[in-house]
Amino acid sequence: MKRMLALLLIVVVTLGVIAVTSPSLVQQVKLGLDLKGGFEILYEAEPLIEGGKITQDALRETARSLEQRANSTGVAEPEITPEGSNRIRVKIAGVTDEAVVRDILKKPAELTFRSMRGCDTGKQDFCKVELVGSDFTENGASIHQNQIGGWEISISMKSASKFAEVTREIAKLPQGKNLLAIYLDENVLSAPQVHSEINDTKASITGNYTREEAKKVADTINLGALPLKLTEKYTQSVGATLGQLSLQQTVFAGTLGTILVLLFMLIFYRLPGLVSSISLITYIWLLLLGFNLMGATLTLPGIAAFILGIGMAVDANIITFERIKEEMRSGKSLLSSLKAGSKNSFRTIMDANLTTIIAGAVLFFIGTGSVKGFAVILIMSIIVSIITNVAYSRLLLYLLIRSGLVTKPGFFGVKESDIRAL
C-alpha cells in the first residue's frame, strides 16, 4: 500500500508541476524567423585593406558590432553567428520595420584615419589609410566639452605605440601636408595638423558641433568601427503571417502525432502504456524547460528534432515493454519479468541512443545554422529521454508491481493463454 501511495504522490506532483509551469514555459520559448517572421542575411567578409587577412578574432568582433547595430534599432535578441573562415549569418525575427534594420546592417560606417604620406604631391588627397576600424576600441567614442564650451568627440585606440608611430611619420611631412584626416566612410570629420609624435591612446575630433551632433557622430562611430568589410551573399525574408501559419500547422501536427502515440501505447500496453504516457508528458516538459534554460531559438528544424525525439522516447518504452511481456509469457512473475526485461532492453536502448548522439555530434561540428540547432535539440532530447523513459518509467513500473494491487497479466497486455508453464 505504501508503494502505491508513493506512486500516486510522484505522479500527482509531477503532473501538478507540469500543469502549473507549462503555460509560462511555452510563452518563454523564443521563435526563429521561420516561425515568427523576419529576415536572414549571409555576409561575406573581406579585409578593409588590400592584402590584409581575415582572422577569427576580427570575424567575432565584426559579429559583435553587427549585434550592437541590430540592438540599437530595438530588435530583441538577434542571432548573429560567424561561419567558416569569412562569413557571418544574421537572423532577426519579429521585425516590424525590416527596411530600417536592413539599411543599418548592410551599410556599415567605416572609421579610418588617413594621411598624405606617399600621395601625389600635386594633390591634397588623403590617399594612405593609417588606422582602420580594428585599431579602435569597441564603444570607445565619447563626447566631452572643451574649455570654451564647444563639444568634441574623443576616440580610444587599442595601441598607443601604433598611434605614436603614425603621428611621428606625419609630423615629418611639410607644412600643409602634416595632416591626419579622420574619415567616417568618405566624409571628412576633421583634419587636424600633427606637429609632433603623440604617444597616447586618445584622439579628439574637433569642430563646431552641438551636443546632439557630437553625440550622433560618437554613436555612429561606436556602431560603425567594423574591422571587416561585409558584402551580402544571400538574403531570405519570411513574412509574419507566413511564419505564424507555419507555427500553427507545425504545432497542430506535433500535438496530433503525440495524441495518437499516447493512444497507441494505452491500447497495446495497458498499464505500462499509461506509465509510458506519463513519462512522455514529463519528457516533453523537461525538453521545454531545457530549451528555455539554454536560451535557444526554436525553428522548424528544431521542432522536427523535437518530434523525432518523442518518437525515439516511445521506441525506448516499446523495447522495454516488449521484453517484459516476453519474460511474462515464459512464465516468470511480474517482478522477475520487470527486472529481466529492463536488464535485457537497457543495452539495446543505449546502443541506439549512443549511435544517434554520435550522428548528432557530427551534424553539430560539420553543419551550420539550423543544422546545428537540429543537432543540439536531437542530442538534448536523447539525454532527457534516458532520464524519463528509461529511469523514470521503470521506477513507476517497479512501484506499481511492488504494490501488489496489480497481478493480472492482462493489465500488461499479455493473455493468460500465452503464458507457458515452467
List the CATH number of the domain containing 69: 3.30.70.3400
Residues 45-81 as b/e (b if ≥16 CB within 10 A, e otherwise) read bebbeeeeebeeebbebbbebbbebbeebebeebbbe
pLDDT at 242: 63
Tell me, yes or no, whether 278 and 325 share the same domain.
yes
Tell me, yes or no, whether 323 and 376 share the same domain.
yes
What is the rounded average pLDDT of the residues 32-36? 72
DSSP per-residue string spanning 66-119: HHHHHHHTT-SS-EEEEETTTEEEEEEES-S-HHHHHHHHHS---EEEEE-TTS
pLDDT at 16: 93
pLDDT at 13: 92
Tell me, yes or no, whether 205 and 333 share the same domain.
no
* The domain boundary residue, chosen from 212, 236, 260: 236
Tell me, yes or no, whether 26 and 89 share the same domain.
no
Residue 1: other Cβ atoms inside 10 A: 8
* The domain boundary residue, chosen from 183, 216, 236: 236
Cell 502504456 sits on residue: 273
pLDDT at 135: 80
| CATH number for the domain harbouring residue 117 | 3.30.1360.200
Tell me, yes or no, whether 55 and 15 share the same domain.
no
Tell me, yes or no, whether 296 and 405 share the same domain.
yes
Residues 241-250 as b/e (b if ≥16 CB within 10 A, e otherwise) read eebeebbeeb
Evaluate if residue 96 carries a pLDDT over 70: no
Give the integer Cα–Cα distance in Å for 73 and 75. 6
Phi, psi of 139 (to 5 degrees): 55, 35
pLDDT at 98: 67
Q: Binning pLDDT at 50, 70 and 90, where does residue 334 land? A: confident
pLDDT in tens, 231-259: 888 877 776 566 677 778 877 887 888 88
* The domain boundary residue, chosen from 214, 236, 258: 236
What stretch of H or E contains 153?
strand 151-157
Q: Binning pLDDT at 50, 70 and 90, where does residue 21 land? A: very high
Evaluate if residue 422 carries a pLDDT over 50: no
What is the rounded average pLDDT of the residues 121-148? 77
Q: For the chain, what percent of residues have pLDDT higher than 90? A: 3
pLDDT at 220: 67
**Pairs from 57-60 (Cβ < 8 Å, separation ≥ 24):** 58/134, 58/227, 58/228, 59/85, 59/86, 59/88, 59/228
**What does the block give as the cell for 126?**
588623403
Tell me, yes or no, whether 142 and 173 share the same domain.
yes
Evaluate if residue 219 carries a pLDDT over 80: no
| CATH number for the domain harbouring residue 293 | 1.20.1640.10
* pTM across the whole model: 0.61
Q: What's the total number of domains in the chain?
A: 3
Phi, psi of 85 (to 5 degrees): -100, -15
Tell me, yes or no, whether 65 and 80 share the same domain.
yes
Tell me, yes or no, whether 243 and 360 share the same domain.
yes
- Please tell me the least confidently modeled range out of 4-18, 31-45, 273-287: 31-45
Tell me, yes or no, whether 413 and 322 share the same domain.
yes
Range of the domain at 322: 2-32+239-418
pLDDT at 73: 62
Tell me, yes or no, whether 64 and 137 share the same domain.
no
Q: What mean pLDDT is reported for the chain? A: 80
Tell me, yes or no, whether 19 and 80 share the same domain.
no
